[in-house]
Amino acid sequence: MATTFDLADVKRRMQGAINAFKHDLGSLRTGRASPNLLDPIQVDAYGSLMPITQVATVNVPEPRLLSVQVWDRGMVAAVEKAIRESDLGLNPQTEGQVIRLRIPEMNEQRRKEMVKVAHKYAEEARIAVRHVRRDGLDLLKKLEKDSAISEDDAKRDGEQVQKATDQFVAEIDQLLVAKEKEIMQV
């Protein structure tokens, strides 16, 4: 089976990293409750990590309150532990199978913490884009070594991969700046 280099596939995978980053940023709230706030949380359920949405229903009964209805009574402690250990700084209060989360007023320190989390998400996205770049460049090297493409083609395609990487990293940086502004807005 002959493998070929596909720049569109590289860009599609880089776009996937951007989409995941946008999703992560959507989970960072600026003082208002949102069900997406809990999306990044993984619960140790039935021997594997699962998104919280696969073991519970998340509702917003009030603007500053989240309600997590855990479906399986045996999972309540695991869900509570996952929320407590997340970077979100939420303090769960459990009543039976319902976990209530008060969203704290965003003070200056909390805003700075959220900005740090946003920066962490941005760095993870940049790393994901760089991994895709590395995979693309490794494939080009292998194709050149196997004489499937010429040295000039490998160099040209490598430059295009780098150009795509630069574009996607710039987009990540723009999204981060916008989110930072939104978080720091009082």
Residue 113's pLDDT is what?
A: 85
Dihedral (CA of 160, 163, 169, 171) sign: negative
- In tens, the pLDDT along 108-147 reads 887 888 899 999 999 999 999 999 999 999 999 999 999 8
Percent of the chain with pLDDT over 90: 47
**Does this model's pTM top 0.75?**
no
Strands (E), the chain: 42-45, 48-51, 56-62, 65-70, 92-95, 98-102
Residue 166 one-letter amino acid: D
Residue 32's pLDDT is what?
A: 67
Question: The tokens 């949380």 sit on which residue?
Answer: 41
pLDDT band at 40 (very low <50, low <70, confident <90, very high): confident
Listed in sequence order, the residues at least 6 apart from 157 whose beta carbon sits closer than 8 Å to its beta carbon are 5, 7, 136, 140, 149
Domains of the chain with CATH codes: 7-24+107-184 (1.10.132.20), 32-102 (3.30.1360.40)
Question: The tokens 């776009």 sit on which residue?
Answer: 15
DSSP string, 100-124: EEE-----HHHHHHHHHHHHHHHHH
